[in-house]
């Protein structure tokens, strides 16, 4: 009996194995492991892919967020509105920048930030709203930008799960003041280790992030440090791998969409897929459903050798480390009890989805 893996990274990287081997050899030839020509090449390709003017490669997605806050001058005394339903890194970056996260609720159908809940949380200390494009779907950009425009706030995109996603035809990375991407191996565009990027149409902001991420170094004089920066750079080898994998991203995202269409047709009715906003074109980082009894469903899938996950069982505002920022957020709390992520990989075969759906259909609830 063959298992259905939750996510098949071996298959994804296997498809580009020969190109990756060549890229590694070429970096080993020139030995410019940091700041090599691969980095600038990938940065301009990725900016163009996102439909944005600039991109800086950084060490990971969490740093990308933190560097955006720092470059926008967001820190001590500021509040940043963050959805409760996100990976903890979104809140972590706010705190690392010295600001306070203000958790708000999500919409019951998409599980993405609720613009009304965000609007109600705005006060005189609010500096920005982070729109987290969770599970591969972009947030309601219209709803959020009307709030940020009205109050003069920055809209920052956490696009760590949304490489290539669109809203109203515009790509993730092109709609906010700046966007943070993660290239953690399991993301839709994944490196061979950690990696991240800041993407923006604001070239001045891109320059500031580039400076801060490279020890605050002047762009023209190597030993002059204009800012108190840090070290957060994308390695040449990771940039080389990412450029190769970027060439396959649209095709892989399309394969994810095809798999989700199959799920939508074959899942039992009690397995409720997260909904898509009418203007959104998601890239389905995760196949998230809400189920009535997760413990029973999970055990049945495990018994059938089917991989599954939970994103996320504890909403950020209920995490022990963030107890100081607690709120009552009923939609995020109910979702945390019910969500479950089904297997999803770009190379997934129709019969694998059928197996997952058959295993679910057999469950007596």
* 158 versus 235: smaller Cβ distance to ligand PLP: 158
* 38 versus 194: smaller Cβ distance to ligand PLP: 194
* 339 versus 360: smaller Cβ distance to ligand PLP: 339
Query: Exposure pattern of 242-269 as b/e (b: 16+ CB <10 Å)?
Result: bbbbbebbeebbebbbebbebbeebbee
Residues within window 135-174 making contact with ligand PLP, judged by CB under 6 A: 158, 160-161
* 78 versus 92: smaller Cβ distance to ligand PLP: 92
* 49 versus 181: smaller Cβ distance to ligand PLP: 181
Listed ranges 54-62, 111-119, 165-173, 204-212: which one lies at the site for ligand PLP (CB under 6 A): 54-62
User: Is 126 near ligand PLP (CB under 6 A)?
Assistant: no
Q: Least CB distance from residue 226 to ligand PLP, whole Å?
A: 26
CA dihedral sign, ordered 322, 323, 329, 335: positive
- The single residue among 20, 27, 74, 86 that binds ligand PLP, judged by CB under 6 A, is 86
| Residue 183 neighbours by CB distance under 10 Å | 32
- Label the pairing between strands 287-290 and 339-342: antiparallel
* 62 versus 174: smaller Cβ distance to ligand PLP: 62
* Residue 110, H or E segment: none
**Does 32 participate in catalysis according to the annotation?**
no
User: Is 87 near ligand PLP (CB under 6 A)?
Assistant: yes
Chain centre distance of CA 111: 14
What's the full length of the chain, in residues? 365
Residue nearest to ligand PLP (CB): 61
User: Is 341 near ligand PLP (CB under 6 A)?
Assistant: no
78, 101 Cβ separation under 8 angstroms: no
- The single residue among 62, 148, 200, 238 that binds ligand PLP, judged by CB under 6 A, is 62
For residues 61 and 159, give the distance between their C-alpha atoms in angstroms, rounded to a whole number: 9
- The single residue among 36, 54, 57, 61 that binds ligand PLP, judged by CB under 6 A, is 61
For residues 305 and 286, give the distance between their C-alpha atoms in angstroms, rounded to a whole number: 19
* 132 versus 139: smaller Cβ distance to ligand PLP: 132
Number of H helices, E strands in the chain: 13, 13
In the stretch 269-308, what mask flags binding to ligand PLP with x, by CB under 6 A?
A: ----------------------------------------
According to DSSP, the residues that pair with 156 across neighbouring strands are: 130, 178
Listed ranges 18-26, 81-89, 121-129, 268-276: which one lies at the site for ligand PLP (CB under 6 A): 81-89
Among candidate residues 92, 107, 263, the one with its CA nearest the CA of residue 180: 92
For residues 160 and 149, give the distance between their C-alpha atoms in angstroms, rounded to a whole number: 24
Among candidate residues 193, 158, 194, the one with its CA nearest the CA of residue 59: 194
- Label the pairing between strands 79-83 and 100-104: parallel
19, 26 Cβ separation under 8 angstroms: no
Q: Any residues with CB less than 8 A from the CB of 37 and at least 6 apart, and which?
A: 30, 236
Listed ranges 14-22, 26-34, 60-68, 290-298: which one lies at the site for ligand PLP (CB under 6 A): 60-68
Q: Least CB distance from residue 173 to ligand PLP, whole Å?
A: 14
Listed ranges 86-94, 114-122, 238-246, 265-273: which one lies at the site for ligand PLP (CB under 6 A): 86-94
User: Is 239 near ligand PLP (CB under 6 A)?
Assistant: no
Task: Point out which residues bind ligand PLP (CB under 6 A).
Answer: 60-62, 86-87, 89-90, 132, 134, 158, 160-161, 182, 184, 194, 196
Annotated catalytic residues are 187
């Amino acid at each position: 009996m063959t298992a259905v893996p939750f996510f098949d990274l071996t298959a994804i990287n296997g498809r580009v194995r020969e190109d990756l081997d060549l890229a590694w050899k070429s970096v080993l030839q020139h030995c410019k492991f940091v700041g090599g020509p691969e980095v600038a090449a990938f940065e301009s390709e990725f900016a163009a892919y996102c439909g944005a003017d600039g991109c800086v490669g950084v060490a990971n997605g969490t740093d990308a967020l933190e560097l955006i806050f720092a470059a926008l001058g967001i820190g001590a005394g500021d509040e940043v509105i963050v959805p409760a339903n996100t990976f903890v890194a979104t809140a972590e970056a706010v705190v690392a920048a010295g600001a306070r996260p203000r958790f708000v609720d999500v919409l019951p159908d998409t599980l993405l930030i609720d613009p009304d809940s965000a609007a109600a949380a705005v006060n005189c200390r609010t500096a920005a709203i982070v729109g987290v494009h969770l599970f591969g779907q972009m947030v309601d950009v219209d709803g959020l930008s009307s709030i940020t425009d009205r109050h003069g706030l920055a809209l920052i995109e956490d696009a760590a799960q949304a490489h290539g996603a669109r809203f109203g035809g515009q790509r993730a990375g092109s709609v906010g003041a700046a966007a943070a991407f993660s290239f953690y191996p399991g993301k839709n565009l994944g490196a061979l280790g950690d990696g991240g990027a800041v993407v923006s149409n604001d070239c001045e902001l891109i320059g500031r992030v580039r400076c801060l991420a490279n020890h605050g170094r002047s762009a023209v004089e190597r030993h002059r440090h204009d800012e108190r920066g840090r070290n957060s750079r994308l390695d040449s080898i990771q940039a080389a791998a990412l450029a190769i994998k970027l060439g396959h991203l649209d095709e892989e995202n399309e394969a994810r969409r095809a798999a989700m269409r199959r799920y939508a047709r074959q899942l039992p009715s009690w397995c409720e897929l997260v909904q898509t906003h009418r203007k959104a074109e998601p890239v389905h980082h995760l196949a998230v459903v809400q189920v009535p009894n997760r413990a029973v469903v999970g055990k049945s899938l495990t018994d059938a050798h089917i991989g599954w996950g939970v994103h996320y069982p504890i909403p950020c505002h209920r995490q022990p480390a963030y107890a100081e920022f607690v709120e009552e957020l009923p939609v995020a709390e109910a979702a945390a009890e019910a969500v479950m992520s089904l297997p999803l990989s770009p190379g997934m075969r129709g019969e694998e989805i059928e197996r997952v759906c058959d295993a679910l259909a057999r469950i007596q609830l």
